[in-house]
A and B are shown apart, each in its own frame.
Chain A
Amino acid sequence: MREANEMKELSIDVPVEPPTELKPLFIPIPPEYVEDAYKKDEFLVLVGPQHPGSGHMRIIVRVDGDVIVEAIPDPGYVHRSMEKLAENRLYIQNIPLFERPAIMDNANFNLGYIRAIEEALDIEVPERAKYLRTIMAELCRIGTHLYDAAILAVFIGHTTGFMYPFAVRELICECLVKMTGARFTSSFIIPGGIRRDVDNGILNFVKKATFEIERRLKNFEKIFIKNPATIARLKDVGVLTKQEAIKYGVVGPFLRASGVEYDVRKVESYEAYDELDWEIVVADEGDGYSRFLVRVNEISQSLDIIRQAIGRIPEGDVISQDLFENVNANTKNPKDIRGAFYDVFTNLKLPLGETTTLTEAARGLLLYTIVSDGESNVPYRVRIVSPGWLYLRGFMESLKGERLADLQAIYGSFGYFPPEADR
Chain B
Amino acid sequence: MLGISEIFEMFKNNMVNIPLIQPIIDALMNIPLVNYVVALVLWKPFFAIAILPGLGGIMLVLLLMVYWERKLTARIQWRVGPLEVFRPLRGLIQPMADGFRYFFQEVIVHVDAHRPYFVQLPILTFIPVLLPILFIPAGEIVAIRSPYAIQIIVALIALIPITIIGIGWASNSRFAYIGSVREAMMYFAYEVPFVIAVLAMILMYGSGDPYVIVEKQSVPGIIMNPIAFLVFFIATLMATSRLPFEIPEADQEIAFGPFVEYSGILFGIVMTLAYEKLYIMCLLMSILFFGGWSGFAIPLLGDLSPVIWLFVKAVVVMLIVALTRSIYPRFRLDQALRMGWTSMLAVSLVSLAVALAIRLSGWLG
A289 to chain B, nearest CB (A): 12
A residues less than 8 Å from B243 (CB atoms): 157-158
* Contacting pair B332 A405 (CB below 8 A): yes
* Contacting pair B250 A405 (CB below 8 A): yes
* Contacting pair B333 A405 (CB below 8 A): yes
* Contacting pair A404 B330 (CB below 8 A): no
11 further contact pairs, Cβ within 8 A, besides A156-B329, A229-B331, A232-B332 = A154-B252, A157-B243, A160-B76, A164-B78, A227-B329, A229-B244, A229-B328, A232-B331, A233-B329, A407-B253, A408-B253
* Contacting pair B330 A403 (CB below 8 A): no
* Residues 50-91 of B contacting A (Cβ, < 8 Å): 73, 76-79
Q: Among A160, A227, A407, which residue has the most Cβ atoms of chain B within 10 A?
A: A160
B residues less than 8 Å from A405 (CB atoms): 247, 250, 253, 332-333
* A403 with B331, Cβ < 8 A, contacts A51-B255, A163-B79 known: no
Give bound CA distance, A161 to B329, whole Å.
Answer: 9
A263 to chain B, nearest CB (A): 30
What are 19 A-to-B residue pairs whose CB atoms are below 8 Å? Answer: A45-B174, A45-B178, A51-B255, A52-B251, A53-B252, A155-B252, A156-B329, A159-B325, A159-B326, A160-B77, A160-B326, A163-B79, A223-B327, A227-B328, A229-B328, A230-B329, A232-B331, A233-B335, A403-B332
B87 to chain A, nearest CB (A): 23
Residue A153 CB within 8 A of the other chain = yes
A32 to chain B, nearest CB (A): 21
* Residues 370-407 of A contacting B (Cβ, < 8 Å): 403-407
Q: Which residues of A contact B (CB under 8 A)?
A: 43, 45-46, 51-53, 66, 153-161, 163-164, 167, 223-224, 227, 229-230, 232-233, 403-408
* Residues 289-309 of B contacting A (Cβ, < 8 Å): none
* Contacting pair B253 A53 (CB below 8 A): yes
* A157 with B252, Cβ < 8 A, contacts A229-B244, A404-B178 known: yes
Residue B98 CB within 8 A of the other chain = no
* Contacting pair B246 A157 (CB below 8 A): yes
* Contacting pair A403 B326 (CB below 8 A): no
Out of B73, B79, B329, name the residue touching A157 (CB < 8 Å): B329
Give bound CA distance, A404 to B328, whole Å.
Answer: 20
B residues less than 8 Å from A164 (CB atoms): 77-78
Residue B334 CB within 8 A of the other chain = yes
* A156 with B78, Cβ < 8 A, contacts A161-B329, A227-B329, A233-B332 known: no
* Contacting pair A159 B73 (CB below 8 A): yes
Out of B250, B253, B328, name the residue touching A158 (CB < 8 Å): B328
* Contacting pair A160 B252 (CB below 8 A): no
* Contacting pair B252 A52 (CB below 8 A): yes
User: Which are the 9 A-B pairs with shortest beta-carbon distances?
Assistant: A157-B330, A158-B329, A163-B77, A53-B252, A156-B329, A160-B326, A157-B329, A405-B332, A229-B328
A415 to chain B, nearest CB (A): 15
* Contacting pair B77 A156 (CB below 8 A): no
B residues less than 8 Å from A233 (CB atoms): 329-332, 335
* Residues 152-184 of B contacting A (Cβ, < 8 Å): 174-175, 178
Out of A43, A52, A153, A229, name the residue touching B255 (CB < 8 Å): A52
Nearest chain A residue, comparing its CB with the CB of B330: A157
* Residues 214-269 of B contacting A (Cβ, < 8 Å): 243-244, 246-247, 250-253, 255
Q: Among A155, A157, A404, which residue has the most Cβ atoms of chain B within 10 A?
A: A157
**Chain B 1-16 per-residue mask, 1 if CB under 8 angstroms from chain A, else 0:** 0000000000000000
B3 to chain A, nearest CB (A): 59
A37 to chain B, nearest CB (A): 13
B residues less than 8 Å from A158 (CB atoms): 243, 328-330
B residues less than 8 Å from A406 (CB atoms): 332
Give bound CA distance, A348 to B59, whole Å.
Answer: 70
B283 to chain A, nearest CB (A): 27
* Contacting pair B73 A160 (CB below 8 A): yes
A residues less than 8 Å from B246 (CB atoms): 157
A residues less than 8 Å from B79 (CB atoms): 163
* A167 with B330, Cβ < 8 A, contacts A229-B244, A408-B252 known: no
A residues less than 8 Å from B244 (CB atoms): 157, 229
* Contacting pair A66 B174 (CB below 8 A): no
B82 to chain A, nearest CB (A): 15
B residues less than 8 Å from A229 (CB atoms): 244, 328-331
Give bound CA distance, A46 to B79, whole Å.
Answer: 35
* Contacting pair A163 B328 (CB below 8 A): no
Give bound CA distance, A158 to B330, whole Å.
Answer: 7
B170 to chain A, nearest CB (A): 18
Give bound CA distance, A169 to B98, whole Å.
Answer: 31
B residues less than 8 Å from A227 (CB atoms): 327-329
Out of A45, A156, A223, name the residue touching B330 (CB < 8 Å): A156
Nearest chain A residue, comparing its CB with the CB of B174: A45
B residues less than 8 Å from A404 (CB atoms): 178, 253
**Chain B 270-284 per-residue mask, 1 if CB under 8 angstroms from chain A, else 0:** 000000000000000
Give bound CA distance, A223 to B326, whole Å.
Answer: 9
Nearest chain A residue, comparing its CB with the CB of B247: A405
Give bound CA distance, A227 to B330, whole Å.
Answer: 11
A406 to chain B, nearest CB (A): 7
Give bound CA distance, A407 to B253, whole Å.
Answer: 8
